[in-house]
A and B are shown apart, each in its own frame.
Chain A
Amino acid sequence: MEILVVLIPVSIVLIAIAAAIFLWAVNNNQFEQLDKHGFDIFEEDSGDES
């Protein structure tokens, strides 16, 4: 079971990466308006979105 000594640190690193990706996603509005893209087809393709 010595392998645990290697695998546990590996899992810690992986989780840290996963957490970083998750925080990045939340901070960059990836979870805002999850249904928005479904409605995109109804929008006119207009140049000025002001």
Chain B
Amino acid sequence: MSICTISVSDMHCAACAGKIRQALTTLDDIQATHINPVRRQVLVEHGTSTDPLEILSTIESAGFSPTLAGLDDHDARQRDLLKRLGIAGLAMMQVMMAAIALYAGALDGIEPAYERLLQYTSLLFTIPVVCYSAIPFFTSALSGLQKGGRLSMDVPIALAIAIAFTTSLFATLSGEGEVYYDSVVMFTFLLLGARYIDNRLQHRFELTGHLLAALPKTAWRLDDGTQRSVGIAELMPGDDVWVPEGAQVPVDGTLADSRALLDEAMLTGESDWVDKQQNTEVYAGTLNRGPAFAMRARSTVDQSRIADIAQLAEQAEVRDANITRLTDRIAGIFIPTVLGLATVTFIGWQLIDPSRALIAALTVLVVSCPCALSLATPAALTAAMTRLRQLGVVLTNSQTLERVLDVDRVYIDKTGTLTTDTPGIERTEVLARDLDEQNCLAVAAELQRHSSHPYARAFHALASADRPPLSDVEVVTGQGVRAQLEAEGGRREVRIGSATFAGAGSATTGTEDRDVYLAIEQRPVARFLLSNQIRPDAIASINTLKAQGVAPVMLSGDSENRCAETAAALDIDYLARQTPEAKLAAIRADQANGRNVLMLGDGINDVPVLAGADVSAAVVEASDLVKSKADVLLLSSRLSPLAGLFSLARGTRRITRQNLLWAAAYNLTAIPIAAFGLMPPWLAALGMAASSTLVMLNATRLLSFGNGERMEA
């Protein structure tokens, strides 16, 4: 089985995608077709008997113009740039050598014959640079002009190269005037170099966010107990799948074996490994950190949770078209200004010193390319969204990142992000002298095994191999468990549960709701103090939020008492016993007071309340991912990704400002210096190249944002 990726540049909508899918069904031996209208790509998985060219012609006959994207577009582009860059570099060395001789000749005198020889040599080496290496600048400048006379970023560069080259060409042929071959090759080489580096960095932003690419290509299917290697697209709901140790889960499904240890960081950003029980959900893309296990597929790869996340992220990227438009607007204002300034420089120098006029004007053209200015915002935003996806946050549009900055109150209506279902046992107090802690815990664990009460779950992990023999187990709802313990002295009644149930109501002081008692024959023998159920990361996250001037408020349908306890432990405000109407009213009241509210809720039940907030955030389950209308989707029920979002939004603003400031400062200082003829052309090209690369590098810092905090968590 092999996969071929086909780019269809004129596929614009779902209808086109449907047409292509329809056309491909006529072919035999096609196992699966994945169509991505956003990337305009078709991924076909086909058997060995199908020729990729056959697939191409089929799509072509459906009325489209497909091209085989055997390589990633990016790889092809990088390779193309590298070739142009290499040729420009080789030629530059030769031209510079000749240029040194020519400059020396101009100062000390040179025989005209040698001057001509050197000039023609330079011309020979410059021709491939202009006609091959510099082509991307020319095509980009021209295509902008063709599309309604738009002046693209590359117009000044293309103009500078073209003018310098033609002037030099005429000077060489006529034997009079200056040559600027050195400037031509150097501009081209340095600017191409910058473009090459920027492309690489840009690719890093995209690659880290590219979830589906990280899925394995093949999986082990269990056919009647034997493992067979199949393409992951072949897995169908209901198939049994074998996941070896250290491998990635290929599709969403349920665990068939009794236990599995999974690393879900890729999906949820949660760094702790998850211990899964039989029949719980496992997700495509997560890593098996324990021994191999069997699972049953619930969906195909296309419908898996990770595919949904990728789809959402792509939609957000598509909606970011207005950033591109902003870039065009900047260019639209900036480029004519630059062209005007270059002309003024040229005319000015004609009046003062005509020999320096051309080079000064060229320097202005090259130094003032607004690349850095236009990259400043999109580079930071792309990097930030990629980082957020790693942390387990998906934004459904990138404006959210800016709107989060205004938020000064967060309503947390998802108690699961603050508290856990399973408390831990903080301390065990043995009240009877003839028993030790080990015995008490063993009996308690065995009793609690029969109960599903949240408090009982704290004991579940303790269940040991040699179980105390129990009989007549009876679970008393809301109270505890009682049973008969077979011991040397005969049967004895044991109870575990609340103080009153275990008969310890009056025996001890300072009892709390959270205490669990073990009693034998109505005599309390041990007291277990359960830790509060606050999630370990919740307090840190709350503090992060507070540090950023955001006031977290807990909303809950629970009773006053329970809320007060949790809120006190977290040191936040709370509103108890809230109906949806009351929640919405609270938001409205805050908004009337000029506050900006972020509401964290349950993606499905809280829709009206979420819609009322300035920014809505939802903790979403696999099946509801795409349905959810929230601005921010949290992929795990922890608060730390939300806190991360606030920090990252501020980080992104900081980086964007730095970028814009740097780009503006660079242009404001460089242009006058160049116009006054104080800047050598090589410095202009280097400055321009460095300015845009610096902006990209600065944005890369967001990719590792918050790494320190995550390590501790």
Q: Which residues of A contact B (CB under 8 A)?
A: 1, 4-5, 8, 11-12, 15, 18-19, 22-23, 26-27, 31-32
Contacts and interface: CB of A to CB of B under 8 A. Distances in A.
Contacts of A19: 86-87, 90
B70 to A, nearest CB: 12
A26 B94 contact: no
Contacts of A32: 75
A22 B86 CA distance: 7
B114 interface: yes
A22 B117 CA distance: 27
Given A4-B114, A19-B87, 9 more contacts: A8-B121, A11-B94, A12-B121, A12-B124, A15-B125, A22-B83, A23-B87, A31-B79, A32-B75
A26 B125 contact: no
B121 A1 contact: no
B82 interface: yes
Contact of A5 (B83, B90, B91, B117): B117
A15 B94 contact: yes
Q: Say what secondary structure dominates the interface of chain A.
A: helix
Contacts of A11: 94
A22 B87 CA distance: 8
Q: How large is the interface on B (under 10, 10 to 19, 20 to 34, 35 or more residues)?
A: 10 to 19
A26 B89 CA distance: 15
Nearest to B124: A12
Contacts of B75: 32
Interface of B: 75, 79, 82-83, 86-87, 90-91, 94, 114, 117, 121, 124-125
Contacts of A12: 94, 121, 124-125
A32 B79 CA distance: 9
Q: Say what secondary structure dominates the interface of chain B.
A: helix
Nearest to B229: A50
Nearest to B79: A26
A26 B90 contact: no
21 contacts: A1-B114, A5-B117, A8-B117, A8-B121, A12-B94, A12-B121, A12-B124, A12-B125, A15-B90, A15-B91, A15-B94, A18-B90, A19-B86, A19-B87, A22-B90, A23-B83, A23-B86, A23-B87, A26-B83, A27-B83, A32-B75
Contacts of A1: 114
Contacts of A23: 83, 86-87
Contacts of A4: 114, 117
A32 B71 CA distance: 12
Contact of B82 (A5, A8, A26): A26
A26 B114 contact: no
Nearest to B82: A26
B214 to A, nearest CB: 17
A25 B91 CA distance: 18
Contacts of A31: 79, 82
A8 to B, nearest CB: 5
A26 B86 contact: yes
B393 to A, nearest CB: 31
Contacts of B87: 19, 22-23
B626 to A, nearest CB: 35
Contacts of A5: 117
A8 B94 CA distance: 10
Contacts of B90: 15, 18-19, 22
A11 B94 CA distance: 9
B197 to A, nearest CB: 15
Contacts of B94: 11-12, 15
B31 to A, nearest CB: 16
A46 to B, nearest CB: 13
A4 B372 CA distance: 43
Contacts of B125: 12, 15
Contacts of B114: 1, 4
A18 B114 CA distance: 26
A15 B92 CA distance: 11
A2 B91 CA distance: 23
Contacts of B82: 26, 31
Nearest to B97: A11
Contacts of A8: 117, 121
A22 B79 CA distance: 12
A32 B83 CA distance: 13
B269 to A, nearest CB: 26
Contacts of B91: 15
Nearest to B101: A4
B4 to A, nearest CB: 16
Nearest to A32: B75
Contacts of B117: 4-5, 8
A23 B133 CA distance: 13
A26 to B, nearest CB: 5
Which 8 pairs show the lowest CB-CB distances between chains A and B? A22-B86, A26-B83, A8-B121, A19-B90, A26-B82, A15-B90, A26-B79, A18-B90
A4 B97 CA distance: 13
A20 B151 CA distance: 36
A14 to B, nearest CB: 10
A31 B79 CA distance: 9
A1 B115 CA distance: 12
A19 B88 CA distance: 10
A1 B117 CA distance: 12
A26 B80 CA distance: 9
A26 B83 CA distance: 7
A21 B519 CA distance: 86
A47 B217 CA distance: 19
A7 to B, nearest CB: 10
Nearest to B93: A15
Nearest to B111: A1
Contacts of B124: 12
A12 B97 CA distance: 13
A16 to B, nearest CB: 9
A18 B90 CA distance: 8
B402 to A, nearest CB: 38
A23 B117 CA distance: 28
B132 to A, nearest CB: 10
